Structure 1
Amino acid sequence: MVFDLSPLWISAKTAFVATFFTFVLGIAAAKWMMGYQGRIKGFIDGVFTLPLVLPPTVVGFFLLLVFGKNGVIGKLLLRFGTTIIFSWPATVIAAVVVAFPLMYKTTRGALEQIDKNLIYAARTLGVSEWEIFWRIMLPLAWPGIAAGSILAFARALGEFGATLMIAGNIPGRTQTIPLAIFFAAQGGDMEQALIWVLLIVTISLAIVFFMNFWSEKQYKFINGFRGKA
């Protein structure tokens, strides 16, 4: 039996690219929401968090409405003779949408836990808001941001429902590990499905171990810093 490793490559590539986009978008959204005080702040926060609680197939359906041939973006892309549906970029879009809430909520929580007196002191000294964000807020919130990135990567790696809806199951193009497991089991190839299951379980355990190791290091560092102070 020839074992096709393309789902591993596609999953890894998708997860890394999706994590990059969620990293940037999550930090930007969290920073913007901290300063936004409009009446619809709660609504916007709910929209940002919604993919976290919706079934993945529902998320995939909404993505089809947006990127399908009758969708707003889909029609625009068709004018240029291209489409995203059932392509590798579609797997990235699905992964970004479902992983974004984890990055956004974790980053926002980390930013909101920063001592506000440090920010007020910096403003008193004439430091610009941009410098405050880059030189004070980001370094202090970095443990939370890193944890959010790891969670986003894990979520992107395990995405199934939305990916199947918008990208389909095309071997060598859009078939990720979760899709390979599902269709191998559905086709009765339990041996191949088990191999993929063991592989993704190993990767997931490694991610959890790394998160616990990171959290413990950060906890010891903070306690040591406080003890010296």
Structure 2
Amino acid sequence: MSRTHRPRLGLPGWVFVPAALGALFVVLPLLAMLTRVDWTQFPELVTSESSRAALLLSLRTSAASTVLCVLFGVPMAVVLARTEFRGQSVLRSLVLLPLVLPPVVGGIALLYTFGRRGLLGHTLDVLGLQVAFTTTAVVLAQTFVALPFLVVSLEGALRTGGQRYEEVAATLGARPTTVFLRVTLPLVLPGLASGAVLAFARALGEFGATITFAGSLQGVTRTLPLEIYLQRETDPQAAVALSLVLVVVATLVITVTRRSRTAL
């Protein structure tokens, strides 16, 4: 009995040329940066007090902003993916606006909202709460620019997964909250994990909104990207070394998350 062989699917040969050029465009600058690192001074450059403070602050604030992105982004993505209402397209555009806005514009918007003379900042200041130019401002700035990444990723996962399992659960008498917690979230968990890591990575590299809304005070608001920018003017070797640290941390986060997503 002859065995039926499925034809092997192949790609056009020309596809590999632009693919290789694109990969080279991304990898070559990283390799160029490696050639400029003074490896004999590398440990000293990345373990200085200011460098360690900036790295720890970046990790803390990025983790906090990721938590906020999950708390706000999951409900937003569910509403956008599972409901229809007038003005929904406008709302989606506004939610995704930070993806295309220059981060410094986001920083200005946050400053006029939470600053001392801002829309809400004046009331907060009367209550003795100051947001601008504090660590809280760093978290808010990172959340503002990172939130759309989680919403986009999760909304796409929700639309791809469909609603058939949720409809079955509702037919069997499950309450909306039970359906959401027991059916919807487990089904889109890989998309949620992917969105969360994108949000964390974006928050980790945030610069423009942070320096505009939070300033650059060592140990309080000076994150690693801000430290790199300042060191670039005074100590280029330190700036390159810290840039490499940021690349390594971001790579580790993405790698761990991709493995977790594969396991799920």
Q: What is the aligned partner in structure 2 of residue 173 from structure 1?
A: 220
Task: Report the alpha carbon displacement of residue 28 of structure 1 after superposing the two structures with TM.
Answer: 1.2
- Distance 1:200-1:126 versus aligned 2 partners, 3 A rule: same
Whole-angstrom distance in 1 between the partners of 2:183 and 2:83: 19
Whole-angstrom distance in 1 between the partners of 2:254 and 2:186: 23
**Contact 1:51/1:59 (8 A) holds in 2:** yes
Q: What is the aligned partner in structure 2 of residue 196 from structure 1?
A: 242
Task: Report the alpha carbon displacement of residue 119 of structure 1 after superposing the two structures with TM.
Answer: 1.8
Q: Does 1:157 align with 2:204?
A: yes
Q: Tell me the C-alpha RMSD between the 2 structures.
A: 1.5
Unaligned runs of 5+ in 1: 219-229
Range with bigger deviation, 102-111 or 91-100: 102-111
Q: What is the aligned partner in structure 2 of residue 69 from structure 1?
A: 116
Q: Does 1:87 align with 2:129?
A: no
1:164-203 deviation line (CA, Å, top 9, x unaligned): 00000111111000000001112x2112212211110111
**Contact 1:60/1:161 (8 A) holds in 2:** yes
Q: What is the aligned partner in structure 1 of residue 29 from structure 2?
A: none
Task: Report the alpha carbon displacement of residue 32 of structure 1 after superposing the two structures with TM.
Answer: 2.1
Task: Give the 5 Å matches for 1:62-141.
Answer: 62-141=109-188
Opposite residue 97 of structure 1, the aligned amino acid is: F
Task: Report the alpha carbon displacement of residue 9 of structure 1 after superposing the two structures with TM.
Answer: 1.1
1:43-101 deviation line (CA, Å, top 9, x unaligned): 11111111111110111111111112221111111111332111110000001111100
- Distance 1:190-1:110 versus aligned 2 partners, 3 A rule: same
**Contact 1:114/1:140 (8 A) holds in 2:** yes
Q: Does 1:15 align with 2:62?
A: yes
Range with bigger deviation, 27-36 or 8-17: 27-36
- Dislocated runs of 4+, deviation >4 Å: none
Q: Does 1:38 align with 2:85?
A: yes
Whole-angstrom distance in 2 between the partners of 1:120 and 1:213: 31
**Contact 1:114/1:137 (8 A) holds in 2:** no
**Contact 1:111/1:141 (8 A) holds in 2:** yes
Q: Could you state the TM-score of these two structures normalised by the residue count of structure 2?
A: 0.78
**Contact 1:64/1:71 (8 A) holds in 2:** yes
Task: Report the alpha carbon displacement of residue 120 of structure 1 after superposing the two structures with TM.
Answer: 1.8
Whole-angstrom distance in 2 between the partners of 1:126 and 1:30: 24
Q: What is the aligned partner in structure 2 of residue 3 from structure 1?
A: 48
**Contact 2:193/2:261 (8 A) holds in 1:** no
Whole-angstrom distance in 1 between the partners of 2:99 and 2:243: 23
Range with bigger deviation, 30-39 or 168-177: 30-39
Q: Does 1:205 align with 2:251?
A: yes
Opposite residue 207 of structure 1, the aligned amino acid is: V
Q: What is the aligned partner in structure 1 of residue 99 from structure 2?
A: 52
Q: Could you state the TM-score of these two structures normalised by the residue count of structure 1?
A: 0.90
What fraction of aligned residue pairs are identical, expressed as a percent? 33
Q: What is the aligned partner in structure 2 of residue 223 from structure 1?
A: none
Task: Report the alpha carbon displacement of residue 217 of structure 1 after superposing the two structures with TM.
Answer: 3.8
Task: Report the alpha carbon displacement of residue 216 of structure 1 after superposing the two structures with TM.
Answer: 4.0
**Contact 1:56/1:162 (8 A) holds in 2:** yes
Larger radius of gyration: 2
1:6-52 deviation line (CA, Å, top 9, x unaligned): 10111011011111110111101112223432210001111111111
